[in-house]
Amino acid sequence: MSSKHIDYLRREHARLDAEIDREAQRRQPDEVLIARLKKLKLAIKDQIAAWSRDTGDSRVA
């Protein structure tokens, strides 16, 4: 994986985190949406962790 792709994954991870926080702050948060966002965020974190293991990089999202 290229450095640009990893940077993209880290930005996407942060964006999903912010979106989860925004939704959770709503008067009536959509719990299904939050669950979907959390699954996406976890999948991205897993991709970053796999890359980190392969390259020896200790920076994980």
Q: Where are the domains of the chain?
A: 3-55
Handedness of CA 9, 49, 39, 31 (dihedral sign): negative
3-class SS of residue 29: coil
Its pTM stands at 0.82
What backbone torsions phi and psi does residue 27 show, to the nearest 5 degrees? -55, -45
The confidence band for 61, taking pLDDT boundaries of 50, 70 and 90, is low
Taking the C-alpha atoms of residue 44 and residue 26, their distance in angstroms, rounded to an integer, is 25
State how far the Cα of 42 lies from the Cα of 2, in Å rounded to an integer: 20
Q: What is the mean pLDDT of residues 31-51?
A: 96
